[in-house]
Structure 1
Amino acid sequence: MEAIYTAIAHATGGGRDGRVRTEDDRLDLETRPPKEMGGSGEGTNPEQLFAAGYSACFLSALHGAGRQLKLDTKDAAVSASVSIGSLDAGGFGLAVELDVYVPNVSKDEAEKLAEAAHAICPYSNATRGNVEVTLTVVE
């Protein structure tokens, strides 16, 4: 792969209980474990950051697929739910649910768009085979 852009972020403190900052200072956040994991829940957490990145990236891929398929993706939206849990073999894993909303096309067309976006989205390509990703077209 020839890199077009590289984002650089730094984590300090206790990781999930610390701070993350991008090298350009456009993102600078306190991180805290969610209450469900014994934390205060008063900062953001890696799963929220992953969900934000995946939803934005997938929406961009959806618009790209719409241009290729000549389908209207105006007013489309994507919600990503990222879950963390224990793996049977030990350690932790992630699961992702993507809810895709494309109001200006039929449900069949929206499903084709979602599948096409899933094939080109960098987050989808990075997680494929490693993270369970469920796509749902919502009306």
Structure 2
Amino acid sequence: MSDYRINLGKAWPEGYKAMFAFSAATRGDLDPILRELVKVRASQLNGCAYCLDMHTKDARAAGETEQRLYALNAWRETTFFTDAERAALALTEALTLLDRGHVSDEVVEEARRHFDEPTLAKLVMAIVAINAWNRLMTVQRPPVGDYQPGGPR
């Protein structure tokens, strides 16, 4: 981590450990592919190269297809995603792009149609976590490209 612009993990290890614990808590019973799609989409919106590299690799390792990853930026224009995935992606965009307005009742209600309350809560927290990681990585500016699934994060 010596190539980081700012090494937050070294400067404040307790804070970094808390972020890892928060992220780990969101995994639960969320489908791994859905979880990675949400992480990739938020990272696209936030322009986080490090997280895009990591989560596209993790998505592929979980069984995601290249076609869907390539089309994720235009998910509304394809038939590649399930209704539940589309609801999660809409929620991801709404929570990530708060400068465009609050999360609408329609977005939340559509997500509720596909996810029970505990799963929806984990999904919301997973979206919050990846947005936090995107911000942490863009300020730290770690080297991009070396991450391998199953390796250290």
TM-score normalised over the length of structure 2: 0.23
Report which of the two structures shows the higher radius of gyration computed on alpha carbons.
1
TM-score normalised over the length of structure 1: 0.25
Structure in which a larger fraction of residues adopt strand? 1
Higher relative contact order (CA 8 A, sep 6+): 2
